[in-house]
A = this chain, B = another copy of it.
Amino acid sequence: MLDRTLVAKLREIVGDVYFREDKEALVAHSYDGTPMLQSLPDGVIYPKDTDQVAEIMKCLSRYRVPVVSRGSGSNLCGGTVPVQGGVVMVMHRMNRIVEVDPENLTATVQPGIVTAEFISHIESLGLFYPPDPSSMRISTIGGNIAECSGGLRGLKYGTTKDYVLGLEAVLANGEIIRTGGKLMKDVAGYDLTKLLIGSEGTLAIITEAVLKLVPPPKSKKTMLAMYKDLYGAARTVSRIIEAKIIPATLEFMDNPTIRVVDDFAKLGLPRDMEAILLIEQDGDREAVERDMESMRRICESELADRVEVAESREHAEKLLTARRSAFTALARLRPTTILEDATVPRSKIADMVLRINEIAIKHNVSIATFGHAGDGNLHPTATTDARDLDEVRRVEQAFEEIFEAAIELGGTITGEHGVGMVKAPFLEWKIGKSGIEVMRGIKQAFDPYNLLNPGKLFAKETRKRVVIDRG
A-B contact pairs, 23 of them (CB 8 A): A103-B238, A103-B345, A127-B244, A162-B162, A177-B438, A179-B431, A181-B411, A183-B376, A184-B346, A184-B377, A185-B376, A185-B415, A187-B198, A190-B457, A191-B198, A194-B194, A194-B195, A214-B246, A215-B244, A215-B246, A216-B244, A284-B290, A441-B442
Closest to A162 in B: B162
Interface contact B101-A434, CB-CB below 8 Å: no
Known contacts A154-B184, A343-B185, A438-B446: A161-B191 contact under CB 8 Å: yes
Among A5-13, A60-68, A416-424, which stretch is in contact with chain B?
A416-424
Interface contact A190-B445, CB-CB below 8 Å: no
Q: Is there a chain B Cβ closer than 8 Å to A394's Cβ?
A: no
| Residues in B whose Cβ lies below 8 Å from that of A436 | 189
In angstroms, how far is the closest chain B Cβ from the Cβ of A231? 14
Interface contact B147-A187, CB-CB below 8 Å: yes
Q: Is there a chain B Cβ closer than 8 Å to A102's Cβ?
A: yes
Q: Is there a chain B Cβ closer than 8 Å to A412's Cβ?
A: yes
Known contacts A215-B244, A444-B445: A416-B185 contact under CB 8 Å: yes
Q: Is there a chain B Cβ closer than 8 Å to A435's Cβ?
A: yes
**Which 4 A-B pairs rank lowest in CB-CB distance, beginning with the nearest?**
A441-B445, A215-B244, A184-B375, A185-B415
Interface contact A177-B147, CB-CB below 8 Å: no
Interface contact A412-B183, CB-CB below 8 Å: yes
Interface contact A189-B419, CB-CB below 8 Å: yes
- Cβ proximity bits A138-177 to B, threshold 8 Å, 1 near / 0 not: 0000000001101000110001011000000001000111
Q: Is there a chain B Cβ closer than 8 Å to A22's Cβ?
A: no
Known contacts A162-B162, A438-B446: A345-B415 contact under CB 8 Å: no
Closest to A413 in B: B188
**Interchain CB contact (< 8 A) of A171 among B102, B187, B431, B434:** B434
- Complex Cα distance, B104 from A190, in Å, reads 29
Interface contact B241-A187, CB-CB below 8 Å: no
Closest to A199 in B: B190
Number of copies: 2
- Complex Cα distance, B321 from A123, in Å, reads 39
Interface contact B376-A345, CB-CB below 8 Å: no
Q: Is there a chain B Cβ closer than 8 Å to A314's Cβ?
A: no
In angstroms, how far is the closest chain B Cβ from the Cβ of A468? 20
- Complex Cα distance, B187 from A413, in Å, reads 8
Known contacts A103-B347, A445-B444: A435-B177 contact under CB 8 Å: yes
Closest to A291 in B: B284
Interface contact B434-A186, CB-CB below 8 Å: no
Interface contact A126-B244, CB-CB below 8 Å: yes
Q: Which of chain A's residues 362-397 have a Cβ closer than 8 Å to chain B?
A: 372, 374-377
Known contacts A177-B435, A438-B177: A417-B345 contact under CB 8 Å: no
Closest to A375 in B: B184
Q: Which of chain A's residues 418-461 have a Cβ closer than 8 Å to chain B?
A: 418-419, 423, 427, 430-432, 434-436, 438-442, 444-446, 457
Interface contact B284-A189, CB-CB below 8 Å: no
Residue among A427, A444, A445, A457 with most chain B CB within 10 A? A445
- Complex Cα distance, B183 from A245, in Å, reads 17
Known contacts A435-B192, A446-B441: A343-B186 contact under CB 8 Å: yes
Interface contact A439-B103, CB-CB below 8 Å: no
| Residues in B whose Cβ lies below 8 Å from that of A244 | 126-127, 215-216
Known contacts A192-B431, A434-B175, A446-B438: A185-B150 contact under CB 8 Å: yes
| Residues in B whose Cβ lies below 8 Å from that of A440 | 445
| Residues in B whose Cβ lies below 8 Å from that of A198 | 187, 190-191
Q: Is there a chain B Cβ closer than 8 Å to A242's Cβ?
A: yes
Q: Which of chain A's residues 105-157 have a Cβ closer than 8 Å to chain B?
A: 105-106, 126-127, 147-148, 150, 154-155
| Residues in B whose Cβ lies below 8 Å from that of A311 | none
Q: Is there a chain B Cβ closer than 8 Å to A287's Cβ?
A: yes
- Complex Cα distance, B432 from A371, in Å, reads 42
In angstroms, how far is the closest chain B Cβ from the Cβ of A462? 13
Q: Is there a chain B Cβ closer than 8 Å to A15's Cβ?
A: no
Q: Which of chain A's residues 276-296 have a Cβ closer than 8 Å to chain B?
A: 283-284, 286-287, 290
Name 19 extra pairs, CB < 8 A, besides A188-B412, A195-B195: A103-B238, A104-B347, A106-B345, A147-B187, A150-B185, A154-B184, A171-B434, A178-B432, A183-B344, A184-B377, A186-B414, A187-B415, A189-B436, A194-B194, A194-B195, A215-B245, A215-B246, A284-B284, A284-B286
